[in-house]
Amino acid sequence: MIPRIISAVLIVASIIAVFGFSFITGHAMAMPEKLNAGVIVLGILAGLFHLFGVVPQGRHMRAFASPVVAWPVMIAGIATLITS
Contacts with 13 (C-beta within 8 Å, 6 or more apart), sequence order: 74, 78
Mean of pLDDT values over 52-59: 89
> What confidence tens digit (pLDDT) does each residue in 3-14 have?
899 999 999 999
pTM, rounded to two decimals: 0.86
Q: What is the DSSP string of 4-48?
A: HHHHHHHHHHHHHHHHTHHHHHSS---HHHHHHHHHHHHHHHHHH
